Structures are given as C-alpha cells and as structure tokens.
Structure 1
Amino acid sequence: MTTTQAMAFETPDQGEEAARAEIYGVLAALFYAPPAQALLDAIAAAPAAGDSQLEQAWSELADACRHAQQAAVREEYEALFIGVGKPDVMLYGSFYLSGFLMEKPLAELRADLAKLGLERSEAMTESEDHLAALCEVMRHLIQSDDAALGNLAAQQKFFDTHMRPWILTCCEAVEGHPNAGFYRFAALLARRFFEVEMQAFDMA
C-alpha cells in the first residue's frame, strides 16, 4: 500500500513499470478507505509534468489534494462508497458483472488468485473483487520477481479477465455522481490510467 513517502508521476530513475506500480498503489490507497492527510499531502507534492490526458488527470488530482480537507474527504468517501444500506457507488466487480455481490465472478477471481499464490488477508475488510484489492494485485504482479507472475502476459490476463469488463463503468459512475467532489478527480485519474493500460495491452 502506498505510504507517506514522496511520490512522483514518473522520474528518470523509475522507469515505466515502477511508475505503473506506483499509480496502482495510489489508486488502491485512495479507494480502499478514506485517505489520511499524509497521503493527500504526498500526492499534492507530486504534480505531473506533461500534457497527456493521464498527466493532466494527475495534476488535477494533485491540485484537489492541495485544497482538500481530510475530514471532508472522509465524509465524501463514506457517503459515496459506504452509505446507509446500499452504497451510492459500488466498487465491486461482481456487482458490475452479475448485478449482485458475492457471485460467480468473485468465485472465479478467487480461483485465479489461488493459482497466483495469493489470498485475502484476514486484516482486509473488503472482498477480493473490490477495486482497491484488484489494484493491489496488479501492483504485486508488476513488482514481482517471479518470472511466472511478473511478466506482461500474466498482467494482461488478470486485467482483461477481472478488470477490463467493468472498471471504466465504475470510474464513470464515480465521476458522474452529483455528490462527488474530491473523488471525481480520483476517478478521472483511474479512468485515464486504465484507458492507457488497455491501449498498452492491446498493442502488446
């Protein structure tokens, strides 16, 4: 999970893979729970230099972090993603793929995670098909030293199976929600990043 250390969109000594893993980590941290002030400050201190849509989305999120109040962001997170009863916006793949939670897509995901040698931590309160959990898996695959896991084919297979079919719809649901303020920028970054991922995988 992303920590409070200073982050950069991409630096000369990082390389593309490290930058990808970092963004997956940032998205996991932002969507798993309301971000701590330290995370907001770290993102605010790392504006992107460039004019691509992804870099512009990062810059907009960094600006939102500079003006954000942690308590207000927490209230927004809870209103959007927790709520009373059914959340306003679902962050679970099973919901978008089947219309229900804890359905067949989650079982298939768990089977694939087992093949990768991964399982849900007891400390994790969300199911494995949560957007943040899936981002953590992608970050793990990118950073893995295991040749069977840390290769583009394994990343693409996992992404195409468990994220591509629904992830943009989820991002758009957050962006379009009338009560989304800070999280509109977080979802915009996520959508732009996932679009770049899809394009890269399609060209691989």
Structure 2
Amino acid sequence: MRDAGLDRAIDAAGGVAQLARKIGIAQPSVSNWNRVPVGRVIAVETATGVPRQQLRPDLYAESAVPDNIIDIIDPVDAARAREYELLAVLLSSPPSNALLGEIAHLRGDTTPLGRAHAALAEAASEVVTTGVEREYFDLFVGLGRGELLPYASYYLTGFLNERPLSRLRDDLAARGIERVENNFEPEDHAGTLCEIMAGFASGRFPASEASQRAFFEKHIVSWMGRMFADMERATSAKFYKSVGTLGQVFMKIETESFTFAN
C-alpha cells in the first residue's frame, strides 16, 4: 500500500506514468514504490511541488529540519547543504523543467564556485528538458550501461558492489541511517552520498565536524572529484559538463575546508 506522501506526489504529477517521466525513471520503478525513496525525495519535490516534509515526514519532520534552518545552523553549513542537495538531485535523476528554471536564475561571482554557478545557470537556460533527459540516459543509464558509473566501488576497485560499498553500509548502520525500502540503487551512488552529506550539513543527520570529515575522507574524497572530472570530459555531456565543473570545484572546497579545520 502506498503511503500518503507518495499518493500526493502521484496526484500532483497527474499519475504514476507522469511522475516517472518527470523524474526520469521507468514507470515500473515508481509503480513498485510504497513510499518515495530517500534518493528520490528532492527530485519528486522539484517535479511535483509536494514538500519533502509531506513526501517523507520520517526523514524531514518539521522538528528535525525546520523551515528556518538557515537561521539555526551556521550559514556556511546551510550553503554546503544546498550545494550537496543540488548535486544530489542532478546525479539522481535528470532535472525537471521547473528545476532547470530555478538553476537558470543562479547568480555567479568572481570566485571559482561563483563562476561554476554562472556556467551551470547558462547551461540550464539553453537546454530543453527532453535533451537533458536523453543526456542523463546516455551518461548514467545507457543501453547496457552508461558512459559513467557514478559509484564508489567502481571508481576504487573497477567493479560494482565491492568492499567500498560494504564499508559504507557498515558506517551508515552505525550512524542509524537506513536504506529506504524499494530503493534498489547501491548506497555508494554519488547522488546518495551527496544527499547524506547534505543531511550532515543541515543537521538532519546528527554529525560533528570531525565525524563529517571522517565520512568525507573515507567515502568521498578518494574518488568523487575524479568522477566529476570524467563527467566534464564525457562525450555525452553538454548540460552535465557544467555539473562536472561545479562538482570538481565544490569537492576541492570541501577537501580544503576539512583539511584546514583538521
């Protein structure tokens, strides 16, 4: 039986098929959901307008993530959370037309991150939804496999579902972060890891700065920058070329920040 949050999303999208199309996945996948998987919450929220607190109140309860979160947590952490959330949704599914419109209004500045934001905004203003859906398919899905495999196990061992995934699952279990039911994507997917880091930064998943640094150094820093570099150079990448640039810049900032803090 579907939960209330998923029912709201399906109604807002105009049906299961429309919801699947809007977030760029196959209709049978959505049909098999009992609730919105954690890795799809932001994409579904963006596509349907149903707030994440209604989609998954167990993860985004008002008491856990207040609307005035920016006033409660450090502004730098709030900015980090937003950056990770943006990367998470772009890695988890092709952006909807509404999200592309929001990205097109990003403002840049003269910093490396500001220039990356400006380039992403320009790319979003030029692409059409059907084009970026095809691009996402070619990059991450493909006929057999996509041009990129955005998993820690693959980048660190050359194979999927290897020891890096096992170590990650052990760490997530120790932190009380559970894999959502009916989400068949391995937890070492780059989008899932960015969503977890967003949770740390926002305070949704309690973690000290030292704990965040340990998680980042163990599960992210050794490979995700390389993945974003590969994305920037990928033959299929047009809009996602700018996503690759943003990811590289942000990973460098995170690495330097944790290093200096240490």
Shared fold (TM-score, shorter chain, > 0.5): yes
**Residue 38 of structure 1 is aligned with which of 75, 95, 98?**
98
Query: Do structure 1's residue 175 and structure 2's residue 232 form an aligned pair?
Result: yes
Q: 1:48-197 alignment to 2 at 5 Å?
A: 48=108, 50-144=109-203, 149-197=206-254
Q: Which amino acid in the other structure matches residue 168 of structure 1?
A: G
1:142 and 1:151 in contact (8 A); partners too: no
Structure 1 segments unaligned to the other structure (5+ residues): 6-11
Shift in CA distance, 79/60, structure 1 to aligned 2, threshold 3 Å:
same
**3-state secondary structure, aligned to 2:144:** coil
Distance 1:195 1:171 in 2: 11
Structure (1 or 2) with the larger CA radius of gyration: 2
Q: Percentage identity across aligned positions?
A: 36
1:94 and 1:129 in contact (8 A); partners too: yes
Aligned partner of 1:199 in structure 2 is 256
Q: CA deviation at 1:66?
A: 1.1
User: In the TM superposition, what whole-angstrom CA distance separates every residue of 1:80-132 from its partner, at most 9, and x where no partner exists?
Assistant: 11001132111001001111001111011000001111011124341100000
Q: CA deviation at 1:150?
A: 3.1
Q: 1:19-30 alignment to 2 at 5 Å?
A: 19-30=79-90
Bigger relative contact order, structure 1 or 2, given CA contacts below 8 A and separation 6+? 1
**3-state secondary structure, aligned to 1:108:** helix
**3-state secondary structure, aligned to 1:165:** coil
Q: Which amino acid in the other structure matches residue 247 of structure 2?
A: A
* Alignment length (residue pairs): 195
2:147 and 2:236 in contact (8 A); partners too: no
Alpha-carbon RMSD across the aligned residues, in angstroms, is: 1.7
2:104 and 2:121 in contact (8 A); partners too: yes
Distance 2:200 2:157 in 1: 26
Distance 1:29 1:38 in 2: 13
